[in-house]
Amino acid sequence: MKNRDARTGIEWIDRDECLRLLAGDEVGRLAVADGGAATIFPVNYRLDGEAIVFRTDPGTKLAQGPRAQVCFEIDHFDRQERTGWSVVVHGRFEEVTAYEAATFKRVHELPVDPWAGGEKAHWVRLVPQRITGRRVGPR
Amino acid sequence: MTPGEVDRNGLEVLARAECLRLLEQTTLGRVGVTVGALPAVLPVNYRLVEDRIVFRTSDGSKLDAATRNAVVAFEVDEMEPIGHTGWSVMVTGLTREVTDASELEALELANIPRWAPVGGERIVEISTDMISGRRIGHARPPERRGAP
């Protein structure tokens, strides 16, 4: 039984399927509210359970401070078929430090391999508070 | 900015002209907005029309509410996981609703994509005055428009 928005015909993707889609990708977009306006960064990521893990250097993302509210998005669209989906995760940033030894060890074993250069010594988890997904087009 | 400039992460910094060329090639972008001071990302179909980003919003949608005279971010990217190559372009600007009849008529010809249409809608544009772009991996020489 499809869960559809009656107004737009857009199908809602359930949480498990959203997590499957998140597990199957490695580049997403992170949005932070920097000085009141949103800014978007493409990031390489991996999943740690339900948390999104990425690496970064000091800069705009880390400057939002610990436990900053952020948004993460992945999508896939097919222009020919006019189909596509997107998954949006809302949650909080948390930097993984050696103080949480078990998480630190587990997260550092993830193959988060940024395509961009830079040391990227800060490992950050985005712990989801809300995961939503939508699909358009025939299925 | 000098050609071939790279940022601290080794990414190639793209010139405005190259950013606009890339924006012209795709029709799916993501609008970054703040809703109640919290960031949100909304995928959107758009066209680049005379150096402006133009898209539709349907009445009552989240996108509609978040793009009424707001400062938004707009992002487009293309990533190629096998070769670890890709590019992204970011625009920051104020949204403006297009209401002028002649402007709307001109935009009608631009064929602004519409994937999930219903009911009333607004045409919204973002200026590309503030634009930046990055390319990762081996850079291809840009194909110049109008080149033989």
Residues A5-20 have pLDDT tens digits of 877 778 999 999 999 9
Residue A70 lies in a domain: yes
pLDDT in tens, B17-31: 999 999 999 989 999
Which tokens in the block code for residue B93?
A: 């600007």
Contact predicate B84/B119, CB 8 Å: no
pLDDT in tens, B51-85: 999 999 888 888 888 888 889 999 999 988 888 88
Q: Which residues form the domain of A81? A: 11-136
Q: How far apart are CA A133 and CA A85, in angstroms?
A: 7
Residue A86 lies in a domain: yes
Q: Is B84 left (phi over 0), alpha (psi -120 to 50) or beta?
A: left
Reported ipTM: 0.81
CATH number, position A30: 2.30.110.10
Residue A132 lies in a domain: yes
pLDDT in tens, B82-137: 888 899 999 999 999 999 999 988 888 788 876 555 567 889 999 999 999 999 88
- The residues in A 43-72 lying below 8 A from B, measured between CB atoms, are 57, 69-72
Report the domain count for chain A.
Answer: 1
Instruction: Catalogue all structural domains in chain B, each as residue range(s) with its CATH number.
Output: 12-136 (2.30.110.10)
C-alpha separations of B92 from A37, B35, B54, B71 in Å: 9, 16, 14, 7
Which distant-in-sequence residues (6+ apart) come within 8 Å of A59 by Cβ? none
Which tokens in the block code for residue B144?
A: 């110049």
Q: Chain B partners of A90 at a C-beta cutoff of 8 Å? A: 38, 40
pLDDT band with cut points at 50, 70 and 90 for residue A139: low
Of A8, A40, A136, Cβ closest to residue B41: A40
Kindly report the pTM of this predicted structure.
0.84
Strands (E), chain B: 12-14, 28-35, 38-49, 52-58, 71-80, 85-98, 121-127, 130-136
